[in-house]
Structure 1
Amino acid sequence: MSLFKKMLASVGIGSAQVDARMEEDSFVPGDLVKGEVHITGGDVAQDIDEIYMYVITHYEREHQDKKVKEECTLLKYRLSERISLAPKEHVVLPFSFTLPYETPLTMGRQPVYLRTGLDIKNALDPGDSDFIEVRPHPLMSKVLDAIQSIGFQLYKVDCEHNRRLGRVYPFVQEFEFRPVGPLRSRIEELEAIFFLGADGLEILLEVDKRARGFLGVLEEAFNLDERYVRFRLDNADLSRSTSEIAHHIERLILSQIR
């Protein structure tokens, strides 16, 4: 019976089980993620070589004129090295790590989740996945509110493969806005990309001008109608009003479409 149980455990039947329990499930990038991993032994003793947690998200990439989804590991955190687990034994391991500043926001259908797993030789590794909410950092919220206050509506948020603009990871999260105010006759689209760090937020805006006349059509054909502008907010800017930041953004946008 013992050999039979070992055979079953090797394919995941009667094997050890893992369950990650977080203190919170909603964060902003840079927050501390804390909790416990509960491990319960199966029908037979098993040696666990490693216990790990991954922070996972997805992004889209163009491949042969089609968009395909790619998985990206934002962080790998090791809780423990080798441990021996007796049958039905219950082990609790605390964990604590910082959510990367580059973690995308879970706006739209963008997933971010923690994957917890046990590395067991000659066995199907048991695992557990837990989705989390990633909210905008206060500086991001300031910018998003400011852009919408000057007549733009957020209509799409997604993560796209971009080796040129991606820094730590091979993608960027794009926030796409359409004009609904006075600038709708002059701007086709406004796109924002955030680069958050411990000391502040860098913002890249792409202004897509609306084609006007023959020259405008030529600009659009050669992508010359897209203008880029960068600016930065530090943590001290959290005390600035949204209207003040909106005025600054509006001036930057107007400087690109004159």
Structure 2
Amino acid sequence: MALFNKVLARIGIGAAKVDTKLYKDQLTAGSKIEGVVEVYGGNIEQEIDSIYLQLFTSYVREVDDKKVKQDVMLNNFKITNPFVITPGETKQLPFSFELPKDTPITMGKTRVWVATGLDIKNAVDPQDVDYVNVLPNKMVSAVIPAMEQLGFRLRQVECEEAPRRMRKRLPFVQEFEFVPTRGPYFGKLDEVEVIVQPDGQDQYELLIEVDRRARGLGGFLAEALEMDETLVKTTVHERDTAHVKSILDQLISKYS
């Protein structure tokens, strides 16, 4: 019977199981994510080489002119040394790590999750997935209402593959796409895309792409050649969030 149980455990039947419980599933990037990993022994004694936590999100990239979704690991954590779990035993292993500051917020189609896995020799590695709700940081919380006050509506939030010149640690950026629905930019602009990236302690880099509406033959030619788009960049400190509306207005009006 013991040999039979070992064979079953190797294919995941009657083997150890894992369940991660997050103390909080609503967090801001840069804050601590804490919880406990519970490991439940199966029908036989098994040696666990390691327990790992991997933080994931996904982004859109183009492959052969088609948009595909690509998962990407934001961080990887090993939380224990090798140990043995006996049949029916339960082990609780607390953990704590920082949610990276460049973790995208979970708006639109963006999802962020923690994948937990047990590394077991000669057996199927059990896994568990827990989703995290990443709330807007101080800068994003200031940018969205500021754009709305300027007459824009947030149309889409999406993580997209970034050109190499715009990449930092990650291969993508999170874009906030706004369209004018009223105010001074209505009828002048097609859309404005804003990218908010952490840039050192308590400051952020704002990349703003202004897409001007085509006017006349010259305008349509410019739009066809994507010459109607202007990308501008500025750095804003957290203490200046109260002035974000004015900063955005000046930059957008200059290039609209």
- Correspondence for 2:211 among 204, 208, 211: 208
SS of 1:100 mapped into structure 2:
coil
Aligned counterparts of 1:68 and 1:119: Cα–Cα separation in 2: 30
Aligned counterparts of 2:114 and 2:88: Cα–Cα separation in 1: 25
Give the counterpart letter for 1:195 in structure 2.
Q
The alignment status of 1:144 with 2:144, answered yes or no, reads yes
Give the counterpart letter for 2:175 in structure 1.
E
Aligned counterparts of 2:163 and 2:150: Cα–Cα separation in 1: 31
SS of 1:173 mapped into structure 2:
strand
- 1:107 Cα shift? 0.5
Percent of residue pairs identical: 41
Q: Contact (CA 8 Å) 2:17, 2:41: kept in 1 or not?
A: yes
Q: Contact (CA 8 Å) 2:138, 2:238: kept in 1 or not?
A: no
- Correspondence for 2:223 among 217, 220, 223: 220
Deviates more, 1:149-158 or 1:198-207: 198-207
- For 1:252, the equivalent position in structure 2 comes to 251
SS of 1:49 mapped into structure 2:
strand
SS of 2:108 mapped into structure 1:
coil
Q: Contact (CA 8 Å) 1:12, 1:123: kept in 2 or not?
A: yes
Deviates more, 1:115-124 or 1:221-230: 221-230
Residue 202 and residue 10 in structure 1: after superposition, are their counterparts in 2 closer, same or farther (change >3 A)? same
SS of 1:140 mapped into structure 2:
helix
- 1:166 Cα shift? 2.5
Aligned counterparts of 2:213 and 2:254: Cα–Cα separation in 1: 15
Give the counterpart letter for 1:252 in structure 2.
L
- Correspondence for 1:199 among 202, 224, 232: 202
CA root-mean-square deviation: 1.1
Aligned counterparts of 1:248 and 1:62: Cα–Cα separation in 2: 33
Aligned counterparts of 2:67 and 2:122: Cα–Cα separation in 1: 36
- 1:167 Cα shift? 1.1
4+ residue runs over 6 A deviation:
none
TM-score by length of 2: 0.96
Aligned counterparts of 1:86 and 1:245: Cα–Cα separation in 2: 57
Aligned counterparts of 2:250 and 2:5: Cα–Cα separation in 1: 70
Q: Contact (CA 8 Å) 1:140, 1:201: kept in 2 or not?
A: no
Q: Contact (CA 8 Å) 1:18, 1:117: kept in 2 or not?
A: yes
- 1:163 Cα shift? 3.9
Unpaired runs of at least 5, structure 1: none
Aligned counterparts of 1:6 and 1:189: Cα–Cα separation in 2: 60
Residue 226 and residue 163 in structure 1: after superposition, are their counterparts in 2 closer, same or farther (change >3 A)? closer
- 1:110 Cα shift? 1.2
SS of 1:60 mapped into structure 2:
strand
- For 2:170, the equivalent position in structure 1 comes to 169
Q: Contact (CA 8 Å) 2:52, 2:77: kept in 1 or not?
A: yes
Q: Contact (CA 8 Å) 1:48, 1:82: kept in 2 or not?
A: yes
Give the counterpart letter for 1:3 in structure 2.
L
Unpaired runs of at least 5, structure 2: none
TM-score by length of 1: 0.95
Aligned counterparts of 2:176 and 2:244: Cα–Cα separation in 1: 17
Deviates more, 1:23-32 or 1:62-71: 62-71
Deviations 1:149-181 (A, max 9, x none): 101000111111124222111111111111011
Aligned counterparts of 1:237 and 1:5: Cα–Cα separation in 2: 63
